[in-house]
Amino acid sequence: MLVNGLAIGMLYVLIVLGMDMILRGTRILNFAHGQVYMLGAYAFYFTYLVFHLHFVLALILSGLAMLALGALSYLGVFGFVQRRFTPGTPFSYRLLMSAMASVGLMMILQQGTLLGFGTKERGIPSIFPQLLTFGSVRLPLERLFIVLISLLLCLFLYLLFFKTKLGKAMRAVSFDAEVCSLLGINTFWVYLLSFGIGCALAGIAGAIVAPVFSVSPDMGHGIITAALLVMMVGGIGSYKGALVGGLVIGLLSSFGFQFLGQLSQVLLFVFVIVFLIFRPGGILGEAHD
């Protein structure tokens, strides 16, 4: 159960990291992220089970596919939305426009998948069906695999942010985009890559979870609510907060489901709301407009 909670928590961490990255880079709250996660799972299903590729290759391919999808959606929709904003645009208007565009995209992706692949749940045989036994403790290897891959991705993101020039540019753009473009940073590429990498994270999250749970068009709905909850707890736009919040919510929901059953989601929400009374900005974030 602990491992289960950890695995779910790391899954949330991956998705929230992607959303935070998009939010901080481009100031867009992407509600379509759950659908990207679902499409990532579908991509893995097709590459791994239909085309019989090696699972590492399939994982990378589904991540790349979602990167392309993210970049495309930025080029097709969000780029235009963003370009219309001037520094004087009220924040509420910016938020509404970008949130609505992503909601529209969410509906299109969701219903498109439903029409294209049907409502049928598709199972993928587990890649690591073994159980690890340490004395009396038995651990399912596939859950550990999820944790491992997620940790690797977090490490990769850390290196990207703090050891490469692109990461530096991303951090700078999220701080002040106008000054950055004056200083010769190509903000368009930074936006595009932020969006793409954020979506790729969700895609890989979907791909690694596909063999554990089954793949269905509905899987995006549940995860987006949980991911947003994690975002609130951790602090909006905070990467460390996403990590802490994801683990907290993952463990709480895993234990809560064991002891309370169906209602654990509701109680979790009440818990988060009560938590927000004391720390309105989440664990590691600040309350801001």
Partner 1 sequence: MRLTISWRTSGKLAGLLLVLAVLVLLPLVIRSPYLIHLLIMTFIGVVLGMTFSMLFSTGLITLGAAAFYAIGAYTSALLTLNAGLSFWLALPLATLMAGVIALLLGSIIVRNPGVAFVVITFIFNAVVVEAAGGLRQLGGWGGILGIPRPDPIPLPFYGPVEFITKTPYYYLMLALLLLIMLVFYALYNSRIGRAWRAIKLSPALAETLGINLYRYRLLAFVIASSAAGVAGSFYAHYFQSIIPEAFGGWTSIYIQLYSVLGGLDFYLLGPAIGAAIMTFLPEFLRVAKEIEPLITGALLVMIILFFPGGILGTLRQFPRLGPASLSARLGEIKNWLLSGRNLR
Quick check: 111 binds partner 1 (CB under 8 A)?
yes
Contact criterion met (CB below 8 Å) for 198 and 22: yes
Contact criterion met (CB below 8 Å) for 180 and 188: no
Quick check: 95 binds partner 1 (CB under 8 A)?
yes
Quick check: 29 binds partner 1 (CB under 8 A)?
yes
Q: Which of residues 238-257 bind partner 1 (CB under 8 A)?
A: none
* Helices 141-163 and 239-260, packing angle to 10 deg: 160
Q: Which of residues 207-226 bind partner 1 (CB under 8 A)?
A: 221, 225
Q: How far is the CB of 98 from partner 1 (least distance, A)?
A: 8
In sequence order, which ranges of the chain are alpha helices (DSSP H)?
2-26, 33-44, 55-73, 79-84, 91-117, 141-163, 165-175, 177-182, 187-209, 219-234, 239-260, 264-278
Q: Which is nearer to partner 1, 58 or 248 (CB)?
A: 248
Q: Which is nearer to partner 1, 45 or 78 (CB)?
A: 78
Q: Which of residues 5-24 bind partner 1 (CB under 8 A)?
A: 23
Cα–Cα distance for residue pair 250/176, rounded to 1 Å: 33
**Phi, psi (rounded to 5 degrees) for 277:** -60, -40
User: Of residues 1, 2, 114, 159, which one binds partner 1 by CB under 8 A?
Assistant: 114
Cα–Cα distance for residue pair 2/274, rounded to 1 Å: 25
Residues that bind partner 1 (CB under 8 A): 23, 29, 31, 77, 80-81, 84, 90-92, 95-97, 99-101, 103-108, 110-112, 114-115, 221, 225, 228-229, 231-232, 236-237, 262-263, 265-266, 269, 273, 276-277, 280-281, 287-289
